[in-house]
Structures are given as C-alpha cells and as structure tokens.
C-alpha cells in the first residue's frame, strides 16, 4: 500500500462513463489541472450493496463540492459497460441511476495498482500457473488532489467499511482554508472555526484561548 500524499497523482488515460450515460474513450484527470480540485475515489464492485450508498452520497453533496471548485470522480475495476448498465438501474432497485459525475473503468487494474489500492496480488502456484491471492478489486481508497495535481490527503478503507462524505468535504475545506489564509487546521476543525498560524507563538496563543 503506497502513500501518495505530497506526490503527483498517478496519471492515466482510460474509458469512463460521464453524465450518467456517455462512454468516453480517453478520460483523464489532466483535464482538471490548474483549475479544479479533485476527489478521486475507488469502490470495489458494481451491483453491490455498500458501494451504491457511497456513490449516491457523493451525488447528494455534488453541488457542495462543485461550489468549492472540486470535481468528483469515481473508479472501480469493472468495465465501462458494467458502469453504464448499473447507471440504468434505479436507486430503489440497488442501482446508481442519477449519478452524473464520471465513473472510470479500470478494467486492466493498473489505475488501482498505481494508486496502491488494489486488493490482492498475482503469483504462481506449484504448477507454474498464474493465480491471484485475493479478489483483484479496489479497496475503498479516496484521494484529495489539489489544482496542481498533488495528492494532499488519502484514506483507504477495507471492503466492508463505507466512507463519510462529509469528512471528505471537511478535508477539502481545510486545504482551501490553508491555501487562502496560510493557517493550519487543528483536530475536528470545520469551516468557520478558528485555525492556527504556522508559528510557535500562533499555536501557543490559540491553545491559551481554547
């Protein structure tokens, strides 16, 4: 499992479904460089149980992210046809109809591998046949990428553990606050609360008053 914080986000060009219906061949995060933050998150499988709750939760907050110049992009190791088919199924029937942000098809699993979230490894058995140690699907990884393409936050959950979308929004707020004001954000900070200057005196003053 790699730590990408502080490094350029791995680049890729692959197929994706955008706007809930259109399959594109050359989707890349490069289109957002210099203009948008990106929340890039992985989920394990289409047509499962926890995954649609996460995708719908991000959709419900999509305008909140966009108002902060942030795009949401999802990814799994399923095909673009599988994504498209799932998008045609209503929420009441376990589908993700209504999702409008891009869903990347990492069919060859290289995107998940480069981001360090691929569950399992390939190897060889005693007969020299290729085998997989686990399901070769993505963990629930999430990466906050700044406008210059640098990963500023990452979190990786095991397969059964769904994420908190409000927490992803809080990290985005913290990054934007730091960039705009030069102040660092303490534990449990949220937008509108006091932050701290990156100096000894500033930290001491903050602690004395709280």
Identify the band that residue 191 occupies on the pLDDT scale cut at 50, 70 and 90: confident
Show the 3-state SS of the chain.
Answer: CCCCCCCECCCCCEEEEECCCEEEEEECHHHHCCCCEEEEEECCCCCCCHHHHHHHHHHHCHHHHHCCCEEEEEEECCCHHHHHHHHCCCHHHCCCCCCCCCEEECCCCHHHHHCCCEECCEEECCCCCEEECCCCEECEEEEEECCCCEEEEEEEECCCCCCCHHHHHHHHHHHHHHHHHCEECCCCCCCCCCCEECCHHHHHHHHHCC
- Per-residue pLDDT tens over the stretch 85-101: 999 999 999 999 999 99
User: Of the residues 126, 144, 163, which one is the last residue of a structural domain?
Assistant: 163
Structural domain includes residue 22: yes
pLDDT at res. 141: 97
pLDDT at res. 208: 41
CATH number of the domain to which 55 belongs: 3.40.30.10
91 & 172 share domain: no
In the chain, how many domains are there? Answer: 2
pTM of the model: 0.89
187 & 170 share domain: yes
pLDDT at res. 123: 83
- Per-residue pLDDT tens over the stretch 126-157: 888 888 887 899 999 999 999 999 999 999 99
- Is there a catalytic annotation at residue 75? no
Mean per-residue pLDDT over the chain, rounded: 90
pLDDT at res. 207: 46
157 & 193 share domain: no
141 & 51 share domain: yes
90 & 150 share domain: yes
175 & 199 share domain: yes
Structural domain includes residue 9: no
- Domain of residue 132 covers 14-163
């Amino acid at each position: 499992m790699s730590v990408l914080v502080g490094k350029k986000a791995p680049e890729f060009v692959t197929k994706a479904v955008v706007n809930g219906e259109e399959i594109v061949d050359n989707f890349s995060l490069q289109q957002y460089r210099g203009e948008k933050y990106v929340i890039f998150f992985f989920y394990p499988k289409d047509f499962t149980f926890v995954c649609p709750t996460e995708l719908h939760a991000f959709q419900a907050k999509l305008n909140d992210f966009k108002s902060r110049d942030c795009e949401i992009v999802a990814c799994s190791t399923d095909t673009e046809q599988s994504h498209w088919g799932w998008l045609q199924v209503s929420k009441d029937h376990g589908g993700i109809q209504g999702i409008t942000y891009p869903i990347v098809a990492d069919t060859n699993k290289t995107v998940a591998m480069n981001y360090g979230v691929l569950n399992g490894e390939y190897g060889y058995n005693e007969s020299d046949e290729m085998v997989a140690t686990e399901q070769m699907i993505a963990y629930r990884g999430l990466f906050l990428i700044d406008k210059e393409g640098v990963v500023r936050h990452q979190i990786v959950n095991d397969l059964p553990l769904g994420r908190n979308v409000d927490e992803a929004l809080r990290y985005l707020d913290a990054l934007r606050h730091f960039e705009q004001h030069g102040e660092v954000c303490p534990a449990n900070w949220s937008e509108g609360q006091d932050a701290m200057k990156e100096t000894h005196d500033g930290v001491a003053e903050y602690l004395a008053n709280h």
